[in-house]
Structure formats: structure tokens, C-alpha cells
A and B are shown apart, each in its own frame.
Chain A
Amino acid sequence: MVPYIPHTESDRNRMLQAIGVDSIDQLFDTIPPKLRYKGLLPINEGLSEHEVIRLLQEMLKKNILGTSYLGMGSYDRIIPPTVSQLASHPTFVSAYTPYQPEISQGLLQAMFEYQSMISELTGLEISNASLYDGHTACSEAGAIMISSKRKSTTLLVSETLHPFSLSVLNTWALGTEVTLVIIPETERHTSVNTMIDSLSEEVAGVIVQSPNRYGVVENYTSLSEAVHQNKSLLTISSDPLSLLLQKTPSQWGADIAVGDTQPLGLPSAFGGPSCGYIAVSKRLMRSIPGRVVGLSTDIEGNRAYTLTLQAREQHIRRERATSNICSNQALAAITTAIHIALVGPEGLTDAATQSYDKAHYLHEQLSHITSLRVDTKSPFWCEFPLFFESKAQLDHAVSFLQHKGIYAGVRLGSLTTKKEDEATLIVAVTEKRSKEELDIYVRYMREALA
């Protein structure tokens, strides 16, 4: 007997008889014999649950955990156990997309609340029920901006975006009419003036990120004004937790806000699943991709939630859809909403502020080590670059700390091709790190560089 399949021999016989065939094999007789696979697939024979657990435990012993200062889009933050417990309720987990609202009010309300929370964090009126991740969200924003301006297919993109966001945007533009113009950075900041000077009639939109790939909190003064004067749109990508402290996309005059909600309730988990968010200004409401939950009433006048604005979606627009998204990251979005509900605005501000203070503490302590350089001018939140004298020195230090159980940071050179990034380490500090851990980091770094 095979697990999860309840049929007995007697069940099968009864069914075959009713259908009018002699064997299950006959049910496949519309498949030409040449296409019938002979024998069994060349994969493992089925294992018992217990054996599966043991096999995986053995395999995963080769994953080595450590104290993490790794960031660049995925962060080791404190997640209350209550969050995953509530998110793993069977009717959230084993549910399909709530196309039948009458029996899905719970799921729909949870998504509606998530949308509202994203709206509050970003300051933009309309949010959807999630996209795949923060990087693909950039290309969805690009699609909105291009469809909003007739005959304009160029996007200006800051070089300070996460390298993977740039890569995803590049792939998205490949083979289409979209032209991406990367505006080079100025000392780890977006060159706002160059960007403004590059605006032209073909430019449909601009994409920037704050905090950027170097952790720098950027200044977008006069950017949105210039962008709007050019009849284009502005997208700002942000870590959602940073929005408790830094100016929101709405406050910068942005039309679209995107990012990834992993820092809010989702584990790092080797990169996924995370959850992309997108919020837009009211006038772009009908251009937002993906699923959207709205409030209405039923025929008896009761408050009721439902998927709405479906006329924009792939299953209706088909070849005229501007996005092909179908499944999104619903359960991950609900997990984020649960996290936000549990820790509340005070808790979020606390986590954001602790991340800020702890990162600045580590930054200050490291600045005393003579063979290291830090940026003392750029404002940052919880992530900052550490400049070594050479790649060799960086590799040595990272390796040294790794042997002590510390993941010191992300080698920027492993994500970009810029020569100057080879000796740069991006260090992320979250509320999860204690002063003791931070002091140990500094001590070992000193030892490594001695």
C-alpha cells in the first residue's frame, strides 16, 4: 500500500466494474504504446515516514548554523513562535485561492488586513495581496509604469538597487520593448541629479531603493517632482521594517512602493518563501497586478470580503494582461500580517530602533580597528559596508570568524562584478543580536586582522 492513497483491492474492483474496464491499465489506453513508460522511474523506491525523517536529518547535518550578520534582502530577526503557530492553522494552509468567498471569509479578511497594514507602512493607498518577492516586485512596478505612459518603454534604475533586483529586471526586459538605463551611483548613493537630468519623453518611470544595497538611507528630495513633471512615475523599493524609521515612499512622493516582507515574520530559510509587497497611489488602483481583496456586502447586507478587480488578472485578460501572476505568496503574507498584529506598532518600532542602535554600535566599535575603513558620512539603518585593505584580507577575516561560528557579512564582490566591491563586506545587525555577541564580533575581527 502506498501512503496517502486509501484504495483497497475491493475498492478498485468496484470502481473498475462501474467504469466498465478490466484493469487500471486500460484507463490509459489513449496513450500511444510508444509513449508508455516502461518499468519504474529511475528515482528512489518509496520510503516510510520514519526513514524519510532520518534521511533528511542526516542530510541536513551538513548545514552549519551560526550567529548571522548576513543581510542583503534576507534577515535573521526575532520571530515570536506564536506567529508560525497561528499561520499553520489547517484551514489557512490547505486552502485554495478563495474564489468562493462565502466559505473563505476568514482567509479573505486576513488578506484584507495584510493589505491595510502594507498601506499603512508605505503610506500609499492601495496594496495587493502579495507578489512573489521583493525583486520580482520591481519588475511588476516597471510594468505598471510602462503601461501608464503611452509610447514610453524606458525605465531609469539606480545602480544602488540590490544586485539581484537589477538582475531580475534585466531578465524581465530581455526580448521585450523595455529599455533599462542604469544610473551609476555616486559614492554609494543614488545620483539623484543625474537621474533627473536623464528624464526624457521615453522615460516611463524611475526605480530606486532605500536603504540601498550598501545599507545607505537615501535622500530623494526633488526627485518625485521632476519625475512627475516629466509625466513619469516613481517606484521606491524598501525594507518594510525600515519604514518605521525612514521617510515612507508616500512621503517622498512615490507612486509605487515595493519590497519584501521577509523581515516581518518569515524565517530566512535559505531564501524562501518570502513575500513581495506592492502598494500604489489611488489613481493606479486598476493597474495593480495580482490578487486584491475588497470589502463589500452580501445580499443580506452583511459585511463580506471578496477577491475583486479580477478583470485585470490573467485568467480574464489573458493575452492583454500586463502581469501573468496567478498564485502569489498568500500564506506568507498572512504570516506577515500575524507578525505585525502581534508585535504591534510599538514592537515594530522597537525592533527597527534596536536594529539601528545595534548596527551603529558595531559600526562604531569596528571603526576603531585601524586596518578597517567604514563610511562615517552616509546615514544608515541596520546594514553598512566594511572596507578591507584587500580581498585576501577580507577572505581571511570572514573565514576566521566563520570558524568561530560567526557569519560576518555578505561579500559584496560575490554579488557584483565591480572591482571595488571585492574588498567590501556588507554587515547587517538586527534586534536579535545582543551587545555580548557584538563585542565578540569585534574581538574576533581584531584578532583576525592582527
Chain B
Amino acid sequence: MNTPLLIEQSVKGRRGYYYPKTDVPSYPPLPANLQRESAPQLPEISELDVVRHYTRLATKSFGVDIGFYPLGSCTMKYNPRLHSYITSWDSLTEVHPLQDESTIQGSLELLYNLTKDLSSITGMSWGTMQPLAGAHGEYTGLKIIKAYHQSRNDHKRTKVLIPVSAHGTNPATASVTGFSIVEVATDTRGLVDLESLKSLLDDEVAAIMLTNPNTLGLFESDIREIAHLVHGCGAQLYYDGANLNAIMGISRPGDMGFDVIHLNVHKTLSTPHGGGGPGAGPVLVKEHLQPFLPTPDITHNDGYYSFEWDRIQSIGKVSGFWGNFLVLVKAYTYILTMGSDGLKSASEHAVLNANYLFTLLKGAFDVPHESRCMHEFVVSAQHYKEKYGVKALDFSKALLDRNYHPPTMYFPLNVSEALMFEPPESESVEVLEEFASTMIELTELAKTNADVLRLSPHSTAVKRLDEVKAAKHPILTWREL
């Protein structure tokens, strides 16, 4: 069922919306040589057609509000409806970022409190809410580390150590911030190989980027030893907070020895993914890195909140204003709602869910590691690829026909035909059991009728796409200019 493009529904002279009539005189326009030469060809549509268009498009999408979304490393938990109610308030939306400080005390207090709470949750000293996404937080964190080394006149530190199982943003961020990457091996337990690490540590290493639990869903139990070794050679530890949902209230990256961390509020703190954003990536640091945090900082004196701009060692600004404010409001609201007891319970149930689903599925798949997992786990469909020609991709596409969003595929890179599942704590035991029995059904189908999986999906709005054509001859706009 094809929904025509807006431009295909356009009718000359049709209009959706009328502004109030102007009540000031007309002024001579811009000089001719500065004026736009030809009008943009934008669609002319009635209001009802716009409403129908987007409402139809919305029915051709899938969200947590519709069904189970076990994407590993994404923490697709329920986005409380309370949040979108609150972020519709005028007292939040109608405030300009450059208003006089005395008139924005509410928003400043909220950001201050959020920074304080996130510091407490993670065991860090203070932070910044400016980064606009997780990867942006990584960028900010590495800039801080670079500034720190330079402040100590240590200019040799050009390398960042990253496990091969790391999320792609880690090496990309290291590269963008001017570092070279050295890969750290994982051992047979699935954890950082300490011997490999020791051989790589020298005075040219600026930092190591880790996530804990790691991308295989395993807790890096040697983390204190790792921290000791890394600090011992003068480097810093960076924590990628993507997997924080496993350990809130149970263990804190600050206590593990990390110097700087970022959080993904659109994962751990329930803010909506929005089809790919906006999220936010607050960065929290230990005291020795506080001077390098982006400017401005938010300070508090006797009940009055202010911006602090006078910060000589700061790395500067990483984004325009003060962060993705409305997204941060949702994160703060979530913390208020859950509280110390609720956040701990969330992590406990996330880990419970993952272990339960792992128990239900592990008989049917190869597992890279037998041990229990934390909030997510990885299985491999390698066996089905070899014996029946059914790959991880085929399992995923078959799930689409059964109203599930598939798990993460082909990540981490060091597991072949990987499928990574993360069933967040907002999913009930019934959802997990139904999902597991569907997955088992698919494994049976792989053995008896592999084509059903290989040719799926069958019942979705469109079938498998010609990705090659899209990449070879990209068409990225509705008309060629």
C-alpha cells in the first residue's frame, strides 16, 4: 500500500494554514542581488491531507508502544506518556535559552538537579548536559581527556585503546577527536584480555574506552585491575554508558575507577528514541577533570542558579545552547518517578528478564559464552547458516511477520551471525515467553522449510529491499534539482 509523497499530492493554490494578516506596512524588499531567484517547489496541501498523510505514515511504523523491541544495546524500554505531557507545558517550551538568568530559575534548577542526580547514580563528581547524543558525549569525553593530558604538558598521548567488540561510535569518535586506535583483544571468557592489555599500555596511551557490562552482556569483573593498570601508565578510563541499565543502584562506574563517562538518556533513562533522536548524552567526570567540562557550567548559590562562563581550562562549547533540554526534562522526570529504589529495581528486572530469555533460547542456538548474562545476551545463528542456509538476517526478517522487532544483528563483530537480545524491565514474563516460543518455532521452520525464512517478510507493507540499488544509484530527494 503505497502512500504518495507529499509532492505527489500537491495542488497549485492549495493551502493548509493561514497566519494572521499582517498589521504593519510593507517595506521595500531586500536588494535585488540578494533576493532568492526562484521559489522553492514545496508541496501545497490542505490541512486534512497533511493530517491523513502523517497519520497514514504513522501506521506504517513500529514502536515500543506497539510491540516488543529486543534490540541489544538499545534498551527499548517503555517511554512513559507522562513525559510528553510535561514537555508540552508552556513553562518549558516557551522559555528562550538566552533569557536573563533571573527568569529561568526553574529550568536551571532542573538541569542542576539532573547533573547532581546523574553524578550520584554513576559515582562521579559533576558533569555537563550539553552533549546532544551518546556519540556526542563520547566526543566530549575524549576532548576532555585530551585537554587534561595537554594541561599536564603530556603531549605524547595519541592512542586510545578500544576492544574489538566495541560499538562503532567508539573508534569513530577517537578518530574524529584526533587519536589513533589500538584494538584490545578479548579472551575466551569474553572479557578484556589482561595480557593483551598489559602489552599495549605505554606512555602514548591517552585512554581506554570500555563499557561495563560489555557488548556481550558480561560484567568485566577485572575492571578494578584494569583501572589500576591504565592509571598506572598515566592514561584515563572512559566509560560508554550504553549498558548502564544493567547496574543502576547495583554498581557504579565511578567506583569501578572510570574517570569520565557518558550516559544515553534515550536508552537507560526511558526518553523516546524518536526514530533516531533526539536523545542526549550527558557526560559525568571525576573531580580532576571538572575544570575541562564544556562551558557554561551551572552553579548554585543560596537557592539561586547561574551559568558559570569564566572557565579557562574548559574545552569550550560542544553544542549551541545547554543541551537537548526537553529530552533532559524527560530523563529528570524518570528519575523523580523511579527514585533510588525504582532505578535499582529496573536494573534488577532488566537482568532478570535477560537471563530468563537467555534460558529459554540458549538450547536452540550456539552461544559464545555459557555463563549467565547481565541485561543483554548474544547468540549465534551460525549453525543454521551452515546446515540449512538460514542466517541471522533471515531470522530477523521472519520476526517482522510475527509483529516483533528483531534483535540487533551482526553485532558485536567478533561473533558470527550474531543476534543480540535486550528485553528491558518494562516487558512482562508473558511477552518473553511468547517471544521465545516464536523464536523456537522459527528454528524448527529453519530445519523443515528454510525458504519461508529466507524469503520473509511476507506480510509487511513492503518486502525485502533492493539495498544494492539504493546504494549504487541513490535517490535521496523526490525530484532531481
Please determine whether A101 and B325 come into contact, CB atoms closer than 8 angstroms: no
- Pick the interface stretch among A10-18, A195-203, A368-376, A384-392: A10-18
Complexed CA–CA distance, A97 and B62 (Å): 10
| A442 CB within 8 Å of chain B | no
| B135 CB within 8 Å of chain A | yes
| A367 CB within 8 Å of chain B | no
| A132 CB within 8 Å of chain B | yes
Please determine whether A4 and B77 come into contact, CB atoms closer than 8 angstroms: yes
Please determine whether A326 and B135 come into contact, CB atoms closer than 8 angstroms: yes
- Chain B: interface secondary structure? loop
Binary flags per residue of B313-335, CB closer than 8 Å to A gives 1, else 0:
00111111111111100000101
| B312 CB within 8 Å of chain A | no
Given A86-B54, A311-B471, A330-B275, CB of A293 within 8 Å of CB of B169: no
Given A35-B255, A323-B172, A350-B19, CB of A46 within 8 Å of CB of B103: no
B16: contacting residue among A168, A270, A347, CB under 8 A: A347
Binary flags per residue of A35-55, CB closer than 8 Å to B gives 1, else 0:
111001111111101001101
Please determine whether B461 and A103 come into contact, CB atoms closer than 8 angstroms: yes
Complexed CA–CA distance, A175 and B427 (Å): 44
Please determine whether B320 and A271 come into contact, CB atoms closer than 8 angstroms: yes
**B residues less than 8 Å from A134 (CB atoms):** 320
Please determine whether B34 and A89 come into contact, CB atoms closer than 8 angstroms: no
| B351 CB within 8 Å of chain A | yes
| B218 CB within 8 Å of chain A | yes
Complexed CA–CA distance, A78 and B5 (Å): 26
| A302 CB within 8 Å of chain B | yes
Binary flags per residue of B1-32, CB closer than 8 Å to A gives 1, else 0:
01101110000001111111011111101110
Please determine whether B476 and A107 come into contact, CB atoms closer than 8 angstroms: no
| CB-based nearest B residue for A220 | B34
**A residues less than 8 Å from B147 (CB atoms):** 174-175
**B residues less than 8 Å from A78 (CB atoms):** 19
| B425 CB within 8 Å of chain A | yes
**B residues less than 8 Å from A86 (CB atoms):** 50-51, 54-55
Given A36-B250, A37-B249, A104-B61, CB of A94 within 8 Å of CB of B272: yes
| A150 CB within 8 Å of chain B | no
| B405 CB within 8 Å of chain A | yes
Binary flags per residue of A308-331, CB closer than 8 Å to B gives 1, else 0:
111101111111111111111111
**A residues less than 8 Å from B91 (CB atoms):** 57, 60-61, 63, 65
**B residues less than 8 Å from A435 (CB atoms):** 23-24
Please determine whether B278 and A329 come into contact, CB atoms closer than 8 angstroms: yes
Complexed CA–CA distance, A171 and B413 (Å): 32
Interface residues of A in 170-191 (CB under 8 A from B): 170-171, 174-177
Most buried by B among A59, A171, A274: A171
Please determine whether B44 and A260 come into contact, CB atoms closer than 8 angstroms: no
Please determine whether B84 and A120 come into contact, CB atoms closer than 8 angstroms: no
| B43 CB within 8 Å of chain A | yes
Please determine whether B325 and A272 come into contact, CB atoms closer than 8 angstroms: yes
Please determine whether B103 and A35 come into contact, CB atoms closer than 8 angstroms: no
Please determine whether A219 and B34 come into contact, CB atoms closer than 8 angstroms: yes
| A292 CB within 8 Å of chain B | yes
Most buried by A among B24, B171, B461: B24
Q: List 29 A-B contacts (CB under 8 A).
A: A4-B80, A5-B426, A27-B351, A28-B219, A30-B221, A31-B219, A45-B341, A65-B91, A78-B19, A82-B50, A89-B58, A95-B63, A116-B7, A120-B42, A136-B132, A176-B178, A268-B95, A270-B95, A272-B322, A272-B325, A273-B132, A308-B476, A324-B135, A329-B132, A330-B274, A338-B54, A342-B45, A407-B99, A438-B24
Shortest Cβ-Cβ A-B pairs, 7 listed: A271-B321, A46-B339, A331-B274, A271-B97, A94-B63, A106-B60, A330-B276
